[in-house]
């Protein structure tokens, strides 16, 4: 094991710097120049300079953009982080459709993409052929092989509907946190199921695949919807199995699938049933999204009251996001696509995901607690400004380049849309009416883990609070070595520089474990109405938490309109990728995907 002094430099050099790039500015210049290639020849130099300035001021692309834009000829990597693909090609059906879908997943992972799948179409284990968990075993094995081929971890998401006959086996699959290491899991639960849990009703398990002859005698006739009834159990029994597994093993998470589809601007033309591996992008089959976070901590003026009252620079936020929209739209036309279907889907809808990172750091710099009403109010004001500026920029870009092909004004401006999301500012509404929109979706709050380390000095990632102010991390290097590096949180480091090494931390410095689970959910719920895609969020649980505590968190999230959630509790048996080196600080963490 080697030792390195600065985690930001290690991650930057390991994941993002290409040959000859010694500084972040070198990388920024490569990426900015590459993304300006979408512009008219006479304008490319101007837009390259604009993109470079945006990067330097804290508005960057997600990891695949920063690593792969401007790659040398022959490099087959994609600039897209997020994909959803079919787990079984519907035209071929079982079993050959799984083979075809798996080969397509390999293509996407080989090019650097993470993939989510809805495994619900897979026939149940008790049907005439099938078994969801056996199929996921195959996907997991092939993904682990891809890790060694492409030199970085591949990530996958497995989603299963709560009425699939294999649901109990799926829920229990990651007990002990050993099986399917390349997968995050989620159960898709609808309003009907949540209401059945509340009312303690029976819940029917069904599927379009015919039951095996040995079990058919125990089944009811085929329903009018064409689905075979495999049995029924109390909804609370299934719910208890889910919350118990989550409490013990932090999996699976939940997707509130009706909330996702009801809030989708394209609900009239597509149905969403899965997300990318980190959960911030619900997507249709062969859907994809390009992402880019803005560092909110860099927009706080007079942090901690140094030199004046702290203030958040909303004008600068607007400037950053408006450049971000153009930059991400360019990526859609410049990136290499693993599959033709992904390219066609992307160019029909032109999804992008402007996001944030450093939220918790920004709140601390403003003197606000993450779990306070005042902290949430500022976060909402930031999200609202981000949303309106992004939509305004997309409308203006539509005036220049044309609206996305499936655009319809009523998807965004009719009374149904107004009831589901906060109204746009008048000038945004006027611009949409005049030009339409270039992009179907514009906001997505991803984890932004490694880019926050590499480019923003280890700021708090995404909308998450940090787990500790100073940690020791183990970082895998390309040559197979492991570096142990000390990592200081950016806001904590700035406090010590401004106030002195021994200055006590104010109460607004909050680590994740010091915030109640309900307050974590409250933050997501406050932000979700402004985010047209979704939000990646982990809710940490105390070690003594019970399945009842998990149930309360999930019900709170469902009632508040959250689209999805993952909770995490410590497991002393698991090795820690991050060790807290603070004198009074101990916290175990999950290892997840980063965007």
Q: Is residue 593 scored above 50 in pLDDT?
A: no
Q: Does pLDDT of 579 surpass 70?
A: no
Per-residue pLDDT, 123:
96
471 pLDDT band, cuts 50/70/90, is: confident
User: Among 227-231, 269-273, 372-376, 587-591, which stretch is predicted with the lowest mean pLDDT?
Assistant: 587-591
**pLDDT digits 0-9 by tens, 515-568:** 999 999 999 999 999 999 999 999 999 989 999 999 999 999 999 999 999 998
In the beta sheet, which residues pair with residue 476? 482
CATH code assigned to 82-275: 3.20.70.20
What distances in angstroms separate CA 447 from CA 149, 153, 279, 297, one per listed residue?
Answer: 25, 16, 9, 15
443 pLDDT more than 90: yes
3-state secondary structure 295-358: EHHHHEECHHHCCCCCEECHHHHHHHHHHHHHHHHHHHHHCCCCCHHHHHHHHHHCCEEEEEEC
| pLDDT of the residue at 583 | 34
**Helical axes 314-334 vs 373-401, angle rounded to 10°:** 50
Q: CATH assignment of 1-57+289-535?
A: 3.20.70.20
Confidence of residue 215 (pLDDT cuts 50, 70, 90): low
Q: Where are the domains of the chain?
A: 1-57+289-535, 82-275
**Res 184 pLDDT > 50:** yes
Intra-chain end-to-end CA distance of the chain, in Å: 26
Closest CA to 185 of 234, 112, 132: 132
d(CA 450, CA 353): 17
* Between 150 and 513, the higher pLDDT residue: 513
* pLDDT for res 144: 87
Give the integer Cα–Cα distance in Å for 108 and 339.
7
Mean per-residue pLDDT over the chain, rounded: 91
Which has the closest alpha carbon to 458: 483, 485, 484, 489?
489
**Does the pLDDT of residue 589 top 50, yes or no?**
no
Distance CA 521, CA 254 (A): 13
Residue 371: helix, strand or coil by DSSP? Answer: coil
Averaged pLDDT, 444-469: 96
Q: How far apart are CA 28 and CA 388, in angstroms?
A: 26
DSSP 123: P
Beta carbons within 8 Å of 380's beta carbon, 6+ residues apart: 526, 527, 530
Q: What are the C-alpha distances in Å from 61 to residues 11, 75, 316, 324?
A: 16, 19, 17, 8
Instruction: Provide the 3-class DSSP secondary structure of residue 424.
Output: coil
């Amino acid at each position: 094991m080697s030792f390195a002094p600065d985690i930001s430099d290690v991650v930057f050099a390991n994941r993002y710097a290409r040959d000859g790039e010694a500084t972040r500015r070198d990388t920024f210049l490569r990426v900015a120049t590459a993304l300006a290639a979408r512009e008219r020849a006479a304008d490319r130099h101007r837009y390259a300079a604009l993109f470079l300035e945006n990067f330097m001021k804290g508005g960057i692309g997600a990891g695949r953009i920063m690593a792969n834009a401007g790659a040398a000829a022959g490099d087959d990597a994609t600039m897209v982080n997020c994909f959803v693909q079919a787990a079984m090609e519907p035209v071929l059906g079982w079993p050959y459709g799984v083979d075809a879908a798996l080969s397509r997943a390999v293509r996407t992972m080989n090019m650097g993409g993470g993939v989510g799948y809805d495994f619900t179409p897979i026939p149940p284990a008790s049907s005439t052929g099938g078994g969801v968990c056996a199929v996921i075993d195959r996907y997991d094995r092939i993904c682990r092989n891809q890790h060694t081929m492409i030199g970085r971890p591949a990530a996958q998401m497995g989603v299963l509907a709560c009425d699939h006959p294999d649901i109990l086996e799926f829920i229990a699959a990651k007990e002990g946190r050993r099986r399917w290491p390349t997968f995050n899991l989620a159960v898709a639960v609808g309003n009907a199921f949540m209401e059945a849990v509340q009312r303690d009703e029976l819940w029917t398990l069904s599927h379009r695949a015919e039951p095996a002859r040995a079990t058919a005698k125990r089944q009811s006739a085929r329903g009018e919807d064409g689905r075979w009834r495999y049995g029924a159990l109390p909804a609370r029994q299934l719910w208890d199995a889910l919350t118990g597994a989550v409490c013990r093993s932090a999996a699976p998470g939940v997707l509130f699938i009706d909330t996702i589809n009801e809030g989708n601007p394209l609900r009239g033309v597509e149905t969403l049933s899965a997300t990318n591996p980190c959960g911030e992008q619900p997507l249709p089959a062969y859907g994809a999204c390009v992402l880019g976070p803005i560092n909110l901590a860099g927009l706080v003026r007079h942090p901690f009251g140094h030199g004046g009252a702290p203030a958040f620079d909303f004008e600068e936020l607007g400037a950053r996001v408006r450049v971000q929209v153009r930059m991400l739209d360019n990526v859609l036309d410049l990136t290499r696509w693993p599959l033709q279907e992904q390219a066609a889907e992307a160019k029909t809808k032109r999804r992008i995901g402007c996001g944030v990172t450093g939220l918790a750091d920004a709140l601390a710099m403003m003197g606000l607690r993450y779990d306070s009403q005042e902290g949430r109010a500022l976060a909402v004001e930031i999200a609202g400004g981000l949303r309106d500026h992004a939509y305004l920029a997309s409308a203006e870009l539509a005036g220049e380049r044309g609206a996305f092909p499936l655009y319809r004004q009523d998807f965004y401006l009719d009374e149904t849309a107004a009831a589901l999301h906060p109204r746009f500012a008048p000038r945004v509404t006027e611009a949409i009416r005049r030009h339409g929109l270039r992009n179907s979706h514009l906001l997505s709050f991803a984890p932004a883990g490694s880019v926050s380390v590499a480019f923003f000095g280890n700021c708090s990632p995404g909308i998450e609070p940090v787990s500790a102010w100073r940690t020791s991390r183990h970082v895998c290097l390309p040559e197979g070595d492991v570096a142990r590096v000390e990592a200081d949180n950016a806001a904590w480091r700035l406090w010590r520089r401004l106030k002195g090494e021994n200055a006590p931390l104010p109460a607004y410095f909050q680590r994740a474990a010091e915030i109640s689970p309900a307050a974590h959910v409250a933050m997501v719920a406050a932000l979700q109405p402004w985010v047209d895609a979704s939000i990646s969020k982990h809710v940490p649980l105390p070690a003594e938490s019970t399945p009842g505590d998990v149930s309360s968190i999930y019900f709170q999230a469902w009632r508040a309109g959250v689209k999805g959630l993952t909770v995490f509790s410590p497991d002393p048996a698991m090795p820690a990728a991050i060790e807290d080196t603070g004198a009074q600080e101990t916290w175990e963490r999950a290892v997840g995907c980063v965007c």
